Amino acid sequence: MKLIFFLVFTFISTFSFSQENDDFVKRLKAINNQTIIFYNVDGVDFSSQTFSNEFSEKGLKKLYRKYSIKESDIKTKDETLKNNNLFITKFENIAENINQISSYYFVENKNKTVSVFWFGYYGKQNQVFERKYINLILNGEIPKEVFEPMTIDSIDFAGRKIKLGNSCYWTNINNVQCPYYGEMNWSVHKTLESAESSIDNQFTVTKNKKGGKVLSEEDVHVIFEGTETKAKKVIYDFTGAKSLLAGMSGGKTLTIYYVASKVRENYVSCCMSFWNNDTITENGLAPLLEKVMQLKK
């Protein structure tokens, strides 16, 4: 199954990162899609992919084209990495005061070929974070238990196994879609501040995307993974819009809930959505959403 990598709700967010040692394994998740590995931790999406190209001008030039790196893009060597490397950082303004950051590292691995690492998030670039995970991946220090199977039967939702059956599929790491039963993406964070910042940015970015308009926006009381909290409920109207998402679903309005809350020993940012033509239970949510959240009456 091929992952759909860049959808309108792809989860790339601001994070807070401590240089102190922490048990990141409980927050990190990964999926190996045969040719590329996707990761998510503390609200950050990143990936790694290894090629047979040599770390040379000719070999790198081919890879630059693959990743849409232009000749004019500034390429710098990160002297703190032991491996020979070049990295490029791109900034794109998504909304007022929000830039999307994309960092690319082209690194010579132990086999003398090139491994490419991509990091995507909002806010300020954090090279300490990037170097940490590049070194963990290059040294083979990512534990096997963080990898999710490509075929979904159940998911590990912040430390709790949730049975879904075989009708759901991954659209990205920590992003699951169940046709006519809803969709959700999430990330596990070390701090509540990181989770709140992540979900705020995702809401702002989605709100500013073209192809739809906000019909309503309100805070509602919910019970999320057993904890009473508030969620931001937003209804988007796609009537008459030439939207990829609307075209695929056949729906006209999309209801989205944004939540940041403490879940067990960590914090979770979660975005849950369903279309007006999805299955809606008597409690007012799509079945997938009810696996983790209930509306408080």
Residue 271 maps to a domain: yes
Question: Where does the pLDDT of residue 26 fall: very low under 50, low under 70, confident under 90, or very high at 90 and above?
Answer: confident
SS3 call for 124: coil
SS3 call for 56: coil
pLDDT of residue 19: 36
How many CA atoms, within 13 angstroms, populate the side-chain half-sphere of residue 103? 28
The b/e string for 217-231 (b: 16+ C-beta within 10 A; e otherwise) is eeeeebebbeeeeeb
pLDDT of residue 16: 37
- Report the C-alpha gap between 176 and 278 in whole angstroms: 15
Is 251 buried (19+), middle (13-18) or exposed (0-12) by CB count in 10 A? buried
| Mean pLDDT score across all residues of the chain | 86
- pLDDT higher than threshold 80 for residue 241: no
Residue 212 maps to a domain: yes
Query: To which residue do tokens 């959403």 refer?
Result: 289
Residue 273 maps to a domain: yes
Residue 208 maps to a domain: yes
Give the residue-averaged pLDDT of 72-80: 93
Cβ atoms within 10 Å of 56's Cβ, excluding its own: 10
For residue 288, the enclosing domain spans: 191-295
Residue 227 maps to a domain: yes
Residue 128 maps to a domain: no
- Report the C-alpha gap between 276 and 182 in whole angstroms: 10
pLDDT, tens only, 99-137:
888 999 999 999 999 999 999 988 778 889 999 999 999
- pLDDT higher than threshold 90 for residue 55: yes
SS3 call for 14: coil
Q: What is the total count of domains within the chain?
A: 1
**Token pair of 132, please?**
């940490």
Residue 65 maps to a domain: no
- Report the C-alpha gap between 106 and 149 in whole angstroms: 27
Cβ atoms within 10 Å of 12's Cβ, excluding its own: 24
Give the residue-averaged pLDDT of 274-283: 93
- Report the C-alpha gap between 210 and 212 in whole angstroms: 6
- Report the C-alpha gap between 47 and 91 in whole angstroms: 18
Residue 286 maps to a domain: yes
